[in-house]
């Protein structure tokens, strides 16, 4: 049987990895897929550089639409990124009857509903394992491996840049700004790290996982997104003293009222495996009714780890290329006419527990006033830590861990505590997730 032909849009870091791994492991991949897979065309604006990477046997063009128009190309691999031209090209490839493989989490989180509907209508596949957690096969696990389960919640460290920064802050006692500069110097953070440090990248990925886990449309605009820029070294130190580590988590959870979809820093008990994921590594915890808790760990970025996921998608499409479209695994795990209309809850309706750090005057009666306001709102205290004021100091830190409470209620209480004359600085609030 002739090899299936793929066209590659963009041959940057990941595209180069895809080409090299596919070439290096072509015989093994052929044995698994049942036929060869070849990248026969590449589109890149820097054609001379692209030609050097792929050699003389591959046609290089500077117009991606030349690949889409080629009747011999069966699969289009989109590695351009972003929302703009990538969306146009993916939609054009689908309309041309091409299968699509993409690592573009931003595109799918924002425009996935439109893209999957178009692919379903044309009877083609859109595969996106590389869009979430790089080389970790979490999409396949959620769509296929756990298909017998009712998934209860997912919590993931799904951005390596922020996890590296938080690891550096904890290990070396660095403030955020210093740790970020180190991450940029070492190549873990981009020159403009906004998408990473503000939680946007993790929210794109959490949105996709939420849709697959609960059979809801992708709804990035409904996600609550909070990054790590306001975290201080002292909070990481206090969390450690209380038996916790701070991680940026992407969380989605099924509740009686709807689906939670949120990204924010969280205290996680140090004894949890996910709390010990360090550096630029990724990990995803999935809680399901039949299997219990499973964890998926590995490299969430990089040329060859991400290429591994892209090529796995190429193999899946090659195997199913001639299968009846109705019998393929649905893009979002559930049949398109069986999607749920469960709402994504506003953050004010989420119930969780909290870490509060208050900078207070070192005088009698302060603790009683603060705890009295918590008690009046029905918020119980799980643990408390008060730093002893140094000689000559007139203020100190008061750390409180609460039990579970609705976020809206906590917002009201924080506003009340902030109004106390003995509370001397903005209150730091970090959510706490037991992940039990």
Active site residues: 205
Q: What is the C-alpha separation between 226 and 18, in angstroms, rounded? A: 32
Secondary structure of the chain as H, E, C letters? CCCEEEEEECCCHHHHHHHHHHHHCHHHHHHHHCCCEEEEEEECCCHHHHHHHHCCCCEEECCHHHHHHCCCCCEEEECCCCCCHHHHHHHHHHHCCCEEEECCHHHHHHHHHHHHHHHHHHCCCEECHHHCCCCCCHHHHHHHHCCCCCEEEEEEECCHHHHHHHHHHHHHCCCHHHHHHHHHHCCCCCCCCHHHHCCHHHHHHHHHHHHHHHCCCCCHHHCEECCCCCCCHHHHHHHHHCCEEEEEEEEEEECCCCEEEEEEEEEEECCCHHHHCCCCEEEEEEEECCCEEEEEEEECCCHHHHHHHHHHHHHHHHHHCCCCHHHCCCCCCCCHHHCCCCCECCHHHCEEEEEEEEEEECCCCHHHHHHHHHHHCCCCEEEEEECCCCCCCCEEEEEEEECCEEHHHHHHHHHHHHCCCCECCCCEEEEECCCC
The pair of three-digit structure tokens given for residue 119, joined into one six-digit string: 């692919």
Name 88's Cβ contacts closer than 8 Å, sequence gap at least 6: none
Tokens 């996910």 found at: 274
C-beta separation of 248 from 196 below 8 A:
no
> Going by DSSP bridges, is the β-strand pair 59-61/37-43 parallel, antiparallel, or unpaired?
parallel
Tokens 């609550």 found at: 224
């Amino acid at each position: 049987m002739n090899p299936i032909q793929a066209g590659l849009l963009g041959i940057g870091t990941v595209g180069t990895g895809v080409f090299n791994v596919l070439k290096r492991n072509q015989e093994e991949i052929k044995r698994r897929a049942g036929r060869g897979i070849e990248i026969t065309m590449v589109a890149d604006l820097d054609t001379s550089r692209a030609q050097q990477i792929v050699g003389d046997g591959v046609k290089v063009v500077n117009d991606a639409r030349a690949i889409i128009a080629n009747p011999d190309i069966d699969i289009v691999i989109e590695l351009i990124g972003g929302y703009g031209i990538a969306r146009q090209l993916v939609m054009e490839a689908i309309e041309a009857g091409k299968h699509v493989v993409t690592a573009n989490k931003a595109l799918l989180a924002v425009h996935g509903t439109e893209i999957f509907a178009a692919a379903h209508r044309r009877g083609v596949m859109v595969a996106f394992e590389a869009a979430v957690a790089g080389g970790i096969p979490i999409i396949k696990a959620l769509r296929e491996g756990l298909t017998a389960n009712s998934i209860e919640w997912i919590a993931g460290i799904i951005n390596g840049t922020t996890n590296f920064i938080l690891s550096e802050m904890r290990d070396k006692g660095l403030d955020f700004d210093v740790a970020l500069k180190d991450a940029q110097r070492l190549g873990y953070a981009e020159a403009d790290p906004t998408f990473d440090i503000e939680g946007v990248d993790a929210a794109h990925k959490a949105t996709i996982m939420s849709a697959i886990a609960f059979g809801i449309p992708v709804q990035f605009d409904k996600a609550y997104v909070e990054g790590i820029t306001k975290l201080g070294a002292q909070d990481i130190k206090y969390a450690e003293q209380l038996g916790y580590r701070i991680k940026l988590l992407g969380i989605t959870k099924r509740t009686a009222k709807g689906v939670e979809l949120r990204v924010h820093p969280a205290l996680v008990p140090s004894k949890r495996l996910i709390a010990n994921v360090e550096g630029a590594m990724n990990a995803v915890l999935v809680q399901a009714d039949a299997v219990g808790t499973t964890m998926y760990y590995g490299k969430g970025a990089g040329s060859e780890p991400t290429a591994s996921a892209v090529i796995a998608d190429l193999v899946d499409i090659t195997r199913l290329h001639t299968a009846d479209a109705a019998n393929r695994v649905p893009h979002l795990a559930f049949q398109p006419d069986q999607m749920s209309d469960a709402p994504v809850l506003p953050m004010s309706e989420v119930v969780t527990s909290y870490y509060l750090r208050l900078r207070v005057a070192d005088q009698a009666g302060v603790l009683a006033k603060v705890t009295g306001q918590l008690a009046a709102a029905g918020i119980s205290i799980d643990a408390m830590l008060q730093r002893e004021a140094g000689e000559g100091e007139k203020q100190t830190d008061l750390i409180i861990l609460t039990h579970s409470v609705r976020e809206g209620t906590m917002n009201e209480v924080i506003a009340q505590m902030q109004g106390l004359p003995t509370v001397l600085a903005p209150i730091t609030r970090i959510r706490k997730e037991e992940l039990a």
